[in-house]
Amino acid sequence: MMAPPMMDAERTMQFLFALRSKGVTDKRVLEAMEKIDRGLFVRGHFAGRAYEDLPLPIACGQTISQPGIVGLMTQALDVQPRDKVLEVGTGSGYQAAILSQLARRVYTVDRHRRLVHEAREVFEALDLTNLTTIVGDGSFGLPDQAPFDRIVVTAAAEDPPGPLLAQLRTGGIMVVPVGQSDTVQSLIKVTKTESGLEYEELAPVRFVPLVEGLGQD
């Protein structure tokens, strides 16, 4: 397998500039995204475009989100060093790897066994020991590990999923794309307070749909 292009100094500067231009200004998030090489998560024909601010196809009909959106989602989560985070939709593993730089513990779930296997290989190569990768139906979360301080969903639901909201601790934050179709979606930040849920609309986005059940791959 051809080795991925590595981020050199000039490419890193361009990458970080693109993130800032999209509104990613949190210093810890930028440092994490500088440290985690996106090129390691993009395979095959599109490897040469790993550092462009574009979503790219990956296996199982899924995509790796564009870095600008990954940065905005991570920034909105406001992950703290002691936090336990759940990611629904491992995909390439890129988002989870970035979260691993910010949180105490990250659990990431995907319905596609192949994606979990490939992501786990990269995590092990990077020695990301605070990441747990699970094959499962993420729409139901991980009740055994709840509650979570932060939850991020990398597929679009019609509404923020009830089972996931139930697994978010009071004071916790969930970031999820919400929309009735693949053309009209909004990235939503949900904060769980003592008195209920607070919603904030962040940006228009396009994500693959959140699907129940395990993938056939």
Rounded distance between C-alpha atoms, residue 50 and residue 38, angstroms: 6
Query: What is residue 214's predicted lDDT score, i.e. its pLDDT?
Result: 67
* Residue 182, token pair as written in the block: 């693949």
Query: What is residue 147's predicted lDDT score, i.e. its pLDDT?
Result: 97
| Contact between residue 155 and residue 167 where contact means Cβ atoms under 8 Å apart | no
Does the structure show a pLDDT above 90 at 26? yes
Rounded distance between C-alpha atoms, residue 197 and residue 115, angstroms: 32
Does the structure show a pLDDT above 60 at 79? yes
**Rounded mean pLDDT of 19-37?**
95
Q: Kindly report, residue by residue over 58-74, the tens digit of the pLDDT.
A: 887 888 899 999 999 99
Query: What is residue 213's predicted lDDT score, i.e. its pLDDT?
Result: 60
Please report which confidence band the pLDDT of residue 101 belongs to, taking 50, 70 and 90 as the band edges. very high
Please report which confidence band the pLDDT of residue 215 belongs to, taking 50, 70 and 90 as the band edges. low
Query: What is residue 217's predicted lDDT score, i.e. its pLDDT?
Result: 58
Mean pLDDT rounded to a whole number for the chain: 90
Overall pTM > 0.85: yes
- Give me the sign of the Cα torsion angle 105, 111, 115, 120: positive
Q: Among all chains, which residue has been given the structure tokens 């080795």?
A: 3
State percent of the chain over pLDDT 90: 68
Choosing from 65, 92, 100, 139, which is the catalytic residue?
65
Is position 65 annotated as part of the catalytic site?
yes
Does the structure show a pLDDT above 70 at 117? yes
Rounded distance between C-alpha atoms, residue 65 and residue 56, angstroms: 7
- Give me the sign of the Cα torsion angle 17, 173, 50, 37: positive
- Give me the sign of the Cα torsion angle 208, 133, 126, 81: positive
| Contact between residue 107 and residue 136 where contact means Cβ atoms under 8 Å apart | no
Does the structure show a pLDDT above 90 at 46? no
Pairing relation of β-strands 105-110 and 84-88? Answer: parallel
**Rounded mean pLDDT of 41-70?**
86
Check residues 6 and 97 and name the one with the higher pLDDT. 97
